[in-house]
Structure 1
Amino acid sequence: MFKINTIDGNNRMSTQDLLERINMALAQGETEFHIEAAGQHDIGGPLWHPEGKPLKFYIKNAGQRVGSMCLPGTEIIVEGSVSADVGWLNAGGRIVIKGDGGDTTAHCAAAGTIYVGGRAGTRSGSLMKHDPYYEAPEFWVLKNVGSFAFEFMGGGTAVVCGYDSEQFESVLGDRACTGMVGGIVYFRGAAGGISAKDTKILTLDSEDIAYLDGKMDDFLGAVDRSELRNELTDWRQWQKVVPLAYEERPKKANTNIRDFRTEQWVPGSIFGDVCEDDFAVIGAITTGKYRRRVPVWENGKYSAPCEFNCTASIPSQQRFNLLRDGKIDEAYRLVLKYTPFPGSVCGAVCPNLCMDDCTRKTVDISAQIGKLGQYSGQAELPKAEAKTGKHVAIIGGGAAGLTAAWQLARLGHEVTVFEADEKVGGKMEQVIPRSRLPQQTLSREIARIAEMGVAFKTGVSVDKAKFATIKDSHDAVVIATGAHVTKVIPWPGHERIVKGLDFLKAINQGQKPAIGKRVIVIGCGNSGMDVAVGAYGLGAEQVTCIDVQRPAAFEQEIAHVKALGAEILWPVFTKEVTDEGIITQEGQLIKGDTVIIAIGEAPDLSFIPEGIALERGCLKPDSDNSIAAGIFTAGDTVRPGRLVDAIGAGRQAALAVNAYLGQSSFTPVEKTKIPANRISTAYFKKCHSCDVPEANSDYSRCISCGTCRDCHMCLKSCPENAITRTMGENGVEYTSDPDKCIGCGICAGICPCGVWNMETNAEPTAFYR
């Protein structure tokens, strides 16, 4: 809570200093403000919290323009009265004045709510307006308003309750509603001097009464006058002012505007020396270049949340669209353009970040994207039709290296993978338990890489000399050796610690490392959970997993380990490792016969040529993934991460190598997630978890964010039949005919996928000479 008194002795804080103090507090995360003002202006204006939290102001002795340009999410409560311009240009805030409001209260208000618990002054509610994209503004006054109120009102709702106003001839003052063209003014009591050429006074209908009755409690409660409800809800005392329709307004003599401007006015127009005037009269509804807004079909411009969150950039919405169209094989092949491991990674060990932010979760549960990868096990992509004659070496046969090899082979290059282990696959083969990643799935996907033309040379340890030989015999090299050096902190007794990576590799090779009955695992990431599972599999009776922070492993992995009987403790800070277990910084002994550490790994880059800089033990590539001419890198050698991160990096490295070899240009991937407010989920029926189909049949639930699902809704809804659907080389395409389109925006409003967008018409018009 932020509190401030703006009077210090005989010194008064300036408006500027007060606003700066408020902004500083806001930047630090404050959301509630109690301000003892002394007439300072503009308090509670266009402010927003850095995390989007709602803001609340309690103000005493405020000056002019309280809540001017106030934004949604801001509530302002003022004790007592205020001076002019309360809620000037209010853009969505809730402003409560418990006393009088002063002149021009709610002037130019465009959204939000303004409550006044007393009177409001001259020109209150003038120029109120309503943008149909937002909720209409509301302005309530308990007593009466001054002259010229609601002048040139264009929209919104005003309510003048007329309490304690019997002494006035009009609760709306003199000359109210002059120039009014929109909105509605409800009033209780006498009213005279209302512009008859612009408005008419009507009695209330049932909808009017329902509105007033529904809002009255909120208003009276806000201004602390709930006891007046019965007195103010005798609807026989109420009337309303509405603007005359165009047909009802007095008409002047019919004059042809073109003739007047060309024959009676200044010849050539008053600005004829500088303007090319076509003398056209532009109607409120028009087509062509005079439309205020134009529709743009932005199919594929934005990434769906699933594609945006996936570090391999797999466009799963396109896979579901292909399945929806019955193009089953094409859907299963599509993922292979981004990863050679749809079953091993996407369908087995990936945390499936694609599903975390799936728009479908706002309806029921995410589309079944992860499991969809399992259906691409038998899919194949054709080999390159022509070879480039270029030879590329990949050092390291893990996720990043094999992905780079797969992509480069598809592009027609000769690719050889050099792997130090007897099998390729990296941590997928050597470390991840078979229970999480079936051997059959991985073997099948590695075989598919070989069938694409990639050569594997296993059991090859690369040192500086070997690297030089490989570099000299290939046109480009990709370093993707991963991170296989287990990090060990040099606590006293650290020599007793078993390295987690070595432990898991031994298990996957069919060995049975010796462990005690009580095992302590340092590190509660996914590797730590794999170690715990492996320890139980080797006969451990009790496993205790410790970490200095909240466990970073996936929830399902933690649940699995706990189900086996493991205990997870955090935060625990190790001080010493003994033959009895671990002694913590607090002096506690955690008993254990075997201590295994799994807090991360670092790459072994001892073979890197001289002159290539390292940063924190890793390589630091340029934006094109290169670290030197013809040498590229990807995966854990740059930054340890998840398998899907390595796959995305491997693909980018392959594209960079292809560009280096003169086959194309390379631009790093830059994704923009489609704004959530462009997606319309109202068209999708909620289902229960028991109704969710198999992944390859889940296309009806996929919303296809940012990508046209060819539903025809825009085509059928366009009132002017301006939209045309065609089939081209890249699939379906929708276009809007500018000679028919009136820029109404129905296409954008009805599109469930957010593909149509309305933009300001930028077509130039010849005007100035």
Structure 2
Amino acid sequence: MFKINTIDGNNRMSTQDLLESINAALAQGETEFYIEAAGQHDIGGPLWHPEGKPLTFLVKNAGQRVGSMCLPGTEIIVEGSASADIGWLNAGGRIVVKGDGGDTAAHCAAAGTIYVGGRAGTRSGSLMKHDPLFDAPEFWVLKNVGSFAFEFMGGGIAVVCGYDSEQFDSVLGDRACTGMVGGIVYFRGSAGGISAKDTKILPLAAEDIAYLDGKMEDFLNAVGRPELRTELTDWQEWHKVVPLSYDERPKKANTDLFSFRNSAWVPGSIFSDVCDDDFTVIDTVATGEYRRRVPVWENGKYSAPCEFNCTASIPSQQRFNLLRDGRIEEAYRLVLEYTPFPGSVCGAVCPNLCMDDCTRKTVDISAQIGKLGRYSSAVDVPMPEAETGKHVAVIGGGAAGLTAAWQLARLGHKVTVFEADEKMGGKMEQVIPRSRLPQETLTREIARIAAMGVAYKTGVSVDKEKFTSIKECHDAVVVATGTHVTKVIPWPGHERIIKGLDFLKAINKGEKPAIGKQIIVIGCGNSGMDVAVGAYGLGAEQVTCIDVQRPAAFAAELAHVKALGGEICWPVFTKEVTDEGIITQDGKLIKGDTVIIAIGEVPDLDFVPDGIALERGFLQPAGNYSVAPGIFTAGDTIRPGRLVDAIGAGREAALAADAYLRSAAYMPAGKIRIPAERMSTAYFKKCHSCDVPDASGDYARCISCGTCRDCHMCLKSCPENAITRLAGENGAEYVSDPASCIGCGICAGICPCGVWNMETNAEPIKFYR
């Protein structure tokens, strides 16, 4: 037998430590326990042996809840008395208390046996119950019980022997069996105050005597009083309490609920001070105004990750949806509302930030958004329906300027673009290698802008006088001259350096700038990689690209240069440029007979009117892209960026200029990215890269984040058929009928696009004043 003494000198073991000690011993295979307790709780509770062996506990000085939730196979024997809650929620154990038991003994007992060899306290046997699949719980008390015993009893058997209780008017205490609806209470002696509205007292039947006589010996032996058998088995002294049946219970006068609530209960109803009670019974599953949540179809409210990441804000998910509907020409024209260069930029030189966070990547790989732009390079759009009579000048024929011109022309304005070079296109034409940006694609897209009515004036250098003349002849001016002045740091020997921008422009014009065999390129951005590729094309044998920081070029561009044999070095800090190459700050020589710098450019804005402030050589427009009344700017004149950044800024500057020309307020379109947790990608099957279709057929893989893809999933999944699909010219719309919707949220949970959202029902309940 495993012994535990909970007192060590003046130290008392806590209940937690005692229970952990019992569990540890049990895990080691112990089955018999002798516990010298000191009032610790829950001794002998829900325990079982790993091999199913019976467990025995001998306990002295037990605290509350001895044997609480006790399981079959466990026997607990308490020497002397125990405090409250003996066998609380007993689930099958055998609990013997040889002395008195405290209040609420056998409270909520559902199985097993509880023996008390003395008296039990208040509310003993309350809420006892019986699951018909198991044996009924049994609760025996040698003497008497306190008040409210067997309150709300629902099942089981209780026996109160009434020994040594002649001095009490009732061995069951006061108000026993109140609310009793099941079970039997046997008692010996007198019992007054039993609830007559719930129970009745009957003499014993033969089966009652047989039960009591059969169990009496076991009970008396367990509590150590076998000598009392003869005294306690005079069955003429015994009675039983059973609950009244429904038909036996007294009935109240029949009255309708409305009258009772409105008159008898509380005049005007209990809530008459705050509401007009219509006595409507609200079902557990409610519709209409009583729903806790309501579905909201938020189609197009949020931007898909592709649209959000694209600085030109191209809604590629809408293009794929149009392709899915078979509206092919419309899909290809859609992108032209945002950029006139879908083939040149989106489909050729753009890093395609749209694809970086494509939700489809959580399934397999991104939708083929970049390649999709190529299908729009030859698409034409209709001319504007009406002309406004306004004339706008755009200074600069690069990505930003031509985008602004394209948008303004489509809005009905007359547009003239002034370009200093002999060709339109800016850096797309002058700098980016033909291998990256096909000449025929760019030429076609520039011609499409002209076909929209935009006039091109090339070879026009703009100074202050020319700018003033242009401003006087036009209703608005957009400055988009870009950055064409190469940054050169004045190191010793910097006069030997070739400017990267001039180098690239010369190559694109078909010239062959003279260079050596060993080339050093200062700057590892995309321009630096273009210079390196150009140098190899001119016959360079070795190109070394250096930078003071981690290379900023796209990974593909870096890989291309390395594949050609180029070397990328960083961090490298230049100290001096010599005939032999570059001397670094730490004294090392990087050999090279030609040094080309490509660390960025700044704009030439000497022509802007006095009074227009510059910051570090760049224009600083207001939130409406305006630097002065009627003068707007976009692209690299504000800050250096990618071509897609210039396109996005050019479009916004055009919209701001249009608002100015119409004397309206410019309202920039905000973008809110759709929360990732609203997407449900389980609808989509994973495919391998070899299974990815051509970009024009990739619409099946596009998840269409934030924009309904008309998949019918919500329609088919609604358990109440509350959702209806409405066909329209601009696509389908889904609506939910409040009279049928129960606010379950299945539509929001299953929608792959995150279009449905569940919101708290804000509809006011007219019930309240």
What's the TM-score, normalizing by structure 1? 0.70
2: CA distance, partners of 1:763 / 1:608: 57
2: CA distance, partners of 1:429 / 1:473: 28
Q: Relative to 1, partners in 2 of residues 1:572 and 1:286: Cα closer, same or farther, differing over 3 Å?
A: same
Partner of 1:424: 424
Q: Relative to 1, partners in 2 of residues 1:397 and 1:265: Cα closer, same or farther, differing over 3 Å?
A: same
Partner of 1:372: 372
Q: Relative to 1, partners in 2 of residues 1:267 and 1:459: Cα closer, same or farther, differing over 3 Å?
A: same
Partner of 1:631: 631
For residues 238-291 of structure 1, the C-alpha deviation after alignment (integer angstroms, 9 at most, x for no partner) is xxxxxxxxxxxx999999654432232112123323422222222211111010
2: CA distance, partners of 1:198 / 1:660: 82
2: CA distance, partners of 1:356 / 1:177: 64
Q: Relative to 1, partners in 2 of residues 1:504 and 1:175: Cα closer, same or farther, differing over 3 Å?
A: farther
User: 1:175 touches 1:195 (CA, 8 Å); kept in 2?
Assistant: no
CA positional deviation for 1:488: 1.0
Partner of 2:745: 745
Counterpart residue identity of residue 278, structure 2: D
User: 2:655 touches 2:666 (CA, 8 Å); kept in 1?
Assistant: yes
Q: Relative to 1, partners in 2 of residues 1:283 and 1:473: Cα closer, same or farther, differing over 3 Å?
A: same
**1:170 counterpart (62, 67, 92):** 67
Counterpart residue identity of residue 737, structure 1: D
User: 2:575 touches 2:583 (CA, 8 Å); kept in 1?
Assistant: yes
Q: Relative to 1, partners in 2 of residues 1:688 and 1:199: Cα closer, same or farther, differing over 3 Å?
A: farther
1: CA distance, partners of 2:497 / 2:628: 38
Residue 270 of structure 1: SS of its match in structure 2?
A: coil
User: 1:394 touches 1:477 (CA, 8 Å); kept in 2?
Assistant: yes
1: CA distance, partners of 2:500 / 2:261: 88
Partner of 1:387: 387
Counterpart residue identity of residue 350, structure 1: C
| 2:389 is aligned with 1:403 | no
Residue 477 of structure 1: SS of its match in structure 2?
A: strand
**Larger-gyration structure (1/2):** 2
User: 2:300 touches 2:707 (CA, 8 Å); kept in 1?
Assistant: yes
| Residue range with higher mean Cα deviation, 390-399 or 485-494 | 485-494
1: CA distance, partners of 2:482 / 2:681: 42
1: CA distance, partners of 2:612 / 2:669: 25
Q: Relative to 1, partners in 2 of residues 1:176 and 1:428: Cα closer, same or farther, differing over 3 Å?
A: farther
Counterpart residue identity of residue 66, structure 2: E
User: 2:41 touches 2:66 (CA, 8 Å); kept in 1?
Assistant: no
CA positional deviation for 1:592: 0.5
For residues 488-531 of structure 1, the C-alpha deviation after alignment (integer angstroms, 9 at most, x for no partner) is 11111111111100100000011111111000001111000000
What does 1:142-161 correspond to in 2, within 5 Å? none
2: CA distance, partners of 1:569 / 1:560: 15
Counterpart residue identity of residue 569, structure 1: C
What does 1:101-120 correspond to in 2, within 5 Å? none
Partner of 1:659: 659
Residue 560 of structure 1: SS of its match in structure 2?
A: helix
2: CA distance, partners of 1:720 / 1:176: 50
Partner of 1:137: none
Q: Relative to 1, partners in 2 of residues 1:591 and 1:739: Cα closer, same or farther, differing over 3 Å?
A: same
| Structure 1: gaps (5+ residues) | 1-82, 84-98, 103-115, 121-144, 148-158, 179-184, 205-249
Q: Relative to 1, partners in 2 of residues 1:334 and 1:427: Cα closer, same or farther, differing over 3 Å?
A: same
2: CA distance, partners of 1:258 / 1:740: 27
Partner of 2:293: 293
Q: Relative to 1, partners in 2 of residues 1:118 and 1:596: Cα closer, same or farther, differing over 3 Å?
A: farther
Counterpart residue identity of residue 510, structure 1: G
User: 2:90 touches 2:109 (CA, 8 Å); kept in 1?
Assistant: no
1: CA distance, partners of 2:549 / 2:612: 35
Partner of 1:641: 641
2: CA distance, partners of 1:575 / 1:199: 92
Partner of 2:271: 271
User: 2:66 touches 2:86 (CA, 8 Å); kept in 1?
Assistant: no
Partner of 1:762: 762
Q: Relative to 1, partners in 2 of residues 1:195 and 1:188: Cα closer, same or farther, differing over 3 Å?
A: closer
Q: Relative to 1, partners in 2 of residues 1:416 and 1:701: Cα closer, same or farther, differing over 3 Å?
A: same
CA positional deviation for 1:393: 0.4
| Identity value in percent | 74
User: 1:100 touches 1:119 (CA, 8 Å); kept in 2?
Assistant: no
Q: Relative to 1, partners in 2 of residues 1:202 and 1:626: Cα closer, same or farther, differing over 3 Å?
A: farther
Residue 510 of structure 2: SS of its match in structure 1?
A: coil
Counterpart residue identity of residue 469, structure 1: S
2: CA distance, partners of 1:373 / 1:608: 35
User: 1:161 touches 1:187 (CA, 8 Å); kept in 2?
Assistant: no
Counterpart residue identity of residue 407, structure 2: Q
For residues 71-115 of structure 1, the C-alpha deviation after alignment (integer angstroms, 9 at most, x for no partner) is xxxxxxxxxxxx9xxxxxxxxxxxxxxx9599xxxxxxxxxxxxx
Residue 408 of structure 1: SS of its match in structure 2?
A: helix
CA positional deviation for 1:575: 1.1
CA positional deviation for 1:591: 0.4
User: 1:287 touches 1:741 (CA, 8 Å); kept in 2?
Assistant: yes
Partner of 2:282: 282
Q: Relative to 1, partners in 2 of residues 1:711 and 1:190: Cα closer, same or farther, differing over 3 Å?
A: farther
| Residue range with higher mean Cα deviation, 272-281 or 376-385 | 272-281
CA positional deviation for 1:117: 7.0
Counterpart residue identity of residue 381, structure 2: L
Partner of 2:679: 679
Q: Relative to 1, partners in 2 of residues 1:410 and 1:186: Cα closer, same or farther, differing over 3 Å?
A: farther
1: CA distance, partners of 2:663 / 2:86: 73
What's the TM-score, normalizing by structure 2? 0.70
Partner of 1:107: none
Counterpart residue identity of residue 648, structure 1: G
Q: CA RMSD in A?
A: 3.1
Counterpart residue identity of residue 598, structure 2: A
Q: Relative to 1, partners in 2 of residues 1:687 and 1:161: Cα closer, same or farther, differing over 3 Å?
A: farther
What does 1:278-357 correspond to in 2, within 5 Å? 278-357=278-357
Counterpart residue identity of residue 297, structure 1: W
Q: Relative to 1, partners in 2 of residues 1:264 and 1:394: Cα closer, same or farther, differing over 3 Å?
A: same
Partner of 1:521: 521
CA positional deviation for 1:187: 9.4
Q: Relative to 1, partners in 2 of residues 1:532 and 1:203: Cα closer, same or farther, differing over 3 Å?
A: farther
User: 1:177 touches 1:198 (CA, 8 Å); kept in 2?
Assistant: no
CA positional deviation for 1:177: 14
For residues 637-677 of structure 1, the C-alpha deviation after alignment (integer angstroms, 9 at most, x for no partner) is 00100000000000000110110011754211211111111
| 2:573 is aligned with 1:598 | no
1: CA distance, partners of 2:87 / 2:474: 83
Partner of 1:538: 538
Q: Relative to 1, partners in 2 of residues 1:187 and 1:751: Cα closer, same or farther, differing over 3 Å?
A: farther
